[in-house]
Amino acid sequence: MAPRPAPVRWGLILLAVGLVGLGTALVVWLRPVLAGGSTQAQTREVSAVVVTSTPCTGQAARDVVEIEVDGQKRQATLDGCGHRQGETLKVALPVPVAAGDLVVLPAGAAPTGPGLEGRLSSVLLALACVAGALYGFLLRVRLPMPRRAKAQPVASPG
């Protein structure tokens, strides 16, 4: 009879894989905290008036808007196109306002961080990778199966 593998060995392997998966999940989940800040862009909503309208036919089609920043009127490039000249709309102004060329987004279109859905999908992806690696390991390691003794034919009396 072939010796069976020790169950402690498999228990240790499963424990190690579980701890690696848990550690990966914690690192991915706490990534924004470990990075030392929020990944969400800081913006504030302001009113803007479209100065130059650009048709949305080209790749770099952007309107030019006029906004008021710290009591001064400034022109900014709107990451959007096709608005009517003179139209008033709300835009997301980055905080702090940089000197030089200014690019604003329509209000509500400001980029945000990954949020809960992004972190959860990252954790699930990490756990799927760990599970796939464990499955590959199990396919690679073939355990010897205990062999059954062949049945001897029974001679009939007679």
Closest-CA residue to 56 (of 80, 84, 75): 80
Supply the pLDDT for residue 131.
82
Phi, psi of 114 (to 5 degrees): -65, -25
pTM across the whole model: 0.46
Residue 74 identity (one-letter amino acid): R
Distance CA 113, CA 125 (A): 18
pLDDT tens for 56-111 read 887 878 889 998 887 888 888 888 888 888 889 998 887 777 777 788 888 877 56
